[in-house]
Amino acid sequence: MSEEQQQYWPIFTENDQTKTFWNKKCLNLGQSTIVYQQPMHRISWKSNKPTEYEFLLNEEGVLFYKQNNKVKGYVQLNEDISLKLIDLKISNKKTDAVKVIRIKRTKDIFVYIWNQENQCTFQFLKYLSQFCFVQNLDQLYTLQDVIGKGGFSKVYTLTPNIRLPNQPFSYAGKVYNKNELLLKKDLKKFYHFIRSECYVLKRINFPYVLKLCEIIQLDELLILVTEYIKGGSLYQYLKDRKRLTEIESTQILLKLALGLQQVHNLGYVHRDIKLENVLIDKDQLKLIDFGFAEKICRDKLLNGQGTAGYIAPEVFMKQPYQEVGDVFSLGVIFYSMLSGKAPFRSNTYDALLKLNKECLIDFSELRFPNVSQKTMFLLRGMLQKQPENRINLQDLLYQLNTYQIFSPSQHVISTQSIVEGSVGISFNHLQSKNTLKSFYQHSQNSFTENTSQVSQQKPNKLLKDRRYKSQSMDKKGMLLKSSSFKPSLKNIYQIKIEQSDDNISITDYELPIPLESLRFLQTSYQTLNCQKFI
């Protein structure tokens, strides 16, 4: 390898700047949760004498040890510290070599830790590997079948050679080959791409984002060990079904948006959201492939990577790629699910890029049969060409959180069960007496200008009659076009504004209105907003 190539392989190496292994300064453990605690033996790089201590690992990756119930030292684990399971012959012992974990911070600074029970040692290694990289494969996993291929890697199924209690039977392994990576023209860029992918996935533990279990760095291979999802991609799922219902499409959109929120909260953007990068299996859904993930930069465009047909238009205009860039790609997925067709289609790559850049999208009713106006409003907001006009992720989640969709059997399906109180206003808040009262009163004031003008010319009695009658009804009294009672998303937004006026107390939250009354409100809301979205 050239000197330049040596800088970027291996991707992970011991580079934790320190002169000692343990930090002896006072450690304030605070309220951190301890995830592992076990008596272990230790040999340091300075001494060959085994000593037993109580080792503890907290959820932030701080490893520390105690003696006589007093903390003696600690180390903050990270991706620049390596772990290796080795056979070590303990000096002055007639016993066979034991399995030990070598924790290495630099070339010369390391410790050996083990338990007399091998299973405890393996279990400790699994916990430590959540924060460091591992230098073993054969002792831990066996590579099985190839289940996927990407532009820079292959994905295999992995089976654990030593399976611990409650451990899955299978994992997925994304494998990068040294020789293939070294052929890349911009090796430095791919080095940072892989580091960013691992950084993001190591720090996110969320139901709708693929979980990275371990990083295995070998001489010739880099393997990212993740959870294994048996189903296929959302692309194949949609291809088999032609198109998805509005209900299912919205539920998938919400899960993806919640997963994406975790990425953005970390200060990163995904940059390659597409149907192929979503895994789906029954009720499981995972956002995957963070190979293009990068830190959010609001000053300039760092790079133009992406998949044609999903690229946010601002990339073509050399504008900074921010959170709304991911929202655009999410909108392309939403469009494809609802219509069964991609918004940009062509037989050639260059023509596809041109269509993507022009961003002229067909939103006609023929393309979207049986899709409500409210959903179309959301879709248009996600696919706005100008990023400043595009709906942001926070507003998208806010709207989805209050979404009510009716299945063909008229059963209400609420996205609240998916969100589980993580974003937006709660369903319980909508049920509180004072909030409902404000919502209703505000709805009663939602007249059209024409209605208001006519009302001023009518006697009070006629005004009162008009107020509670539909403006256009069929012979059975069913609503056709519009009504003077218009609960809408605009009204719901007003709830937060009016909270202070309502003086809502804890007691109000604990006294929900009868379900049948709330059902009337939901039905009115859905029926009217299917005709006109405000």
Task: Identify the burial level of 6 via C-beta atoms within 10 angstroms of its C-beta, where 0-12 means exposed, 13-18 middle and 19 or more buried.
Answer: exposed
Instruction: Give Cβ neighbours of residue 45 (< 8 Å, ≥ 6 apart).
Output: 21, 108, 109, 110, 111
* Residue at 34: amino acid letter: I
CA-closest candidate to residue 143, choices 177, 174, 99? 174
Question: Has residue 408 been placed in a domain?
Answer: yes
Residue 527 — φ and ψ, nearest 5°?
A: -60, -45
Residues 210 and 245 in one domain: no
Q: What CATH number did the domain enclosing 328 receive? A: 1.10.510.10
SS3 486: coil
Alpha helices (runs of H) in 93-148, residue ranges in sequence order: 118-128
Counting every residue, how long is the chain? 534
Do 387 and 312 contact (CB within 8 A), yes or no? Answer: yes
pLDDT digits (tens), the chain, 534 positions: 677 778 889 999 998 778 889 998 766 666 788 999 999 999 976 677 889 999 999 999 999 999 888 889 999 999 999 999 999 887 666 667 889 999 999 988 999 999 989 999 999 999 999 999 999 999 999 999 999 887 778 999 999 998 888 889 999 999 999 988 888 777 888 899 899 999 999 999 999 999 999 999 999 999 999 999 998 999 999 999 999 999 999 999 999 999 999 999 999 999 999 999 999 998 899 999 998 999 999 999 888 889 999 999 999 999 999 999 999 999 999 999 999 999 999 999 999 999 999 999 999 999 999 999 999 999 999 999 999 999 999 999 999 987 755 444 444 445 555 544 333 334 444 444 344 444 444 444 433 333 444 344 444 444 444 433 333 344 444 433 333 344 443 343 333 333 333 333 333 333 344 454 555 555 555 544 444 333
The single residue listed with the structure tokens 């450690």 is 27
Instruction: Give Cβ neighbours of residue 374 (< 8 Å, ≥ 6 apart).
Output: 403, 489, 529, 530, 533
CA dihedral for 373, 378, 382, 386, sign (positive or negative):
positive
Residues 492 and 445 in one domain: yes
Residues 173 and 254 in one domain: no
Calpha distance 62→25 (Å, rounded): 14
Question: Has residue 484 been placed in a domain?
Answer: yes
Query: 3-class secondary structure for 167-227?
Result: CCCCEEEEEEEHHHHHCCCCHHHHHHHHHHHHHHHHCCCCCCECCEEEEEECCCEEEEEEE
Residue 434 has a pLDDT of: 47
Q: Residue 341's CB: how many other CB atoms inside 10 A?
A: 13
The single residue listed with the structure tokens 């706005």 is 384
Residues 246 and 329 in one domain: yes
Q: In total, how many domains does the chain have?
A: 4
Calpha distance 135→425 (Å, rounded): 47
Instruction: Give Cβ neighbours of residue 37 (< 8 Å, ≥ 6 apart).
Output: 54, 55, 56, 57
Residues 238 and 358 in one domain: yes
Residue 520 has a pLDDT of: 53
Calpha distance 456→486 (Å, rounded): 20
Do 155 and 204 contact (CB within 8 A), yes or no? Answer: no
* Residue at 132: amino acid letter: C
Residues 252 and 358 in one domain: yes
Residues annotated within a binding site: 174
Residues 461 and 374 in one domain: no
Half-sphere exposure of 488 (CA within 13 A, CB side): 19
Alpha helices (runs of H) in 74-143, residue ranges in sequence order: 118-128
The single residue listed with the structure tokens 């006109």 is 532
The single residue listed with the structure tokens 């209703």 is 440
CA-closest candidate to residue 128, choices 31, 218, 62? 62
Q: What CATH number did the domain enclosing 45 receive? A: 2.30.29.30
Residue 388 has a pLDDT of: 95
Do 132 and 82 contact (CB within 8 A), yes or no? Answer: yes
Residue 282 has a pLDDT of: 83
Residues 282 and 400 in one domain: yes
Residues annotated within a binding site for ATP: 174
Instruction: Give Cβ neighbours of residue 44 (< 8 Å, ≥ 6 apart).
Output: 21, 111, 112
* Residue at 417: amino acid letter: S
CA distances from 213 to 127, 262, 385 (A): 10, 17, 38
Residues 387 and 445 in one domain: no
What's the DSSP call for residue 300?
A: S
CA distances from 449 to 132, 456, 464, 483 (A): 64, 11, 17, 13
Question: Has residue 2 been placed in a domain?
Answer: no
Domain range for residue 498? 427-531
Residues 113 and 254 in one domain: no
Residue 510 has a pLDDT of: 35
Compute the 3-state secondary structure of the chain and give helix, strand, coil in percent, each to the nearest 5.
35, 20, 40
The single residue listed with the structure tokens 């959903």 is 375
For the stretch 514-518, contacts whose Cβ atoms lie closer than 8 Å and that sit 24 or more positions apart, written own/partner, are 518/430, 518/431, 518/436
Question: Has residue 158 been placed in a domain?
Answer: yes
What's the DSSP call for residue 31?
A: T
- Boundary residue ending a domain (399, 419, 439): 419
For residue 143, give both structure tokens. Answer: 């590579």
Residue 250 has a pLDDT of: 95
Question: Has residue 1 been placed in a domain?
Answer: no
Residues 208 and 170 in one domain: yes
Residue 477 — φ and ψ, nearest 5°?
A: 85, 15
- Boundary residue ending a domain (134, 151, 175): 134
* Residue at 7: amino acid letter: Q
Residue 86 has a pLDDT of: 93
Question: Has residue 122 been placed in a domain?
Answer: yes
- Boundary residue ending a domain (382, 399, 419): 419
Calpha distance 498→234 (Å, rounded): 41
Helices vs. strands in the chain: H and E counts, helices first: 19, 19
Residues 200 and 282 in one domain: no
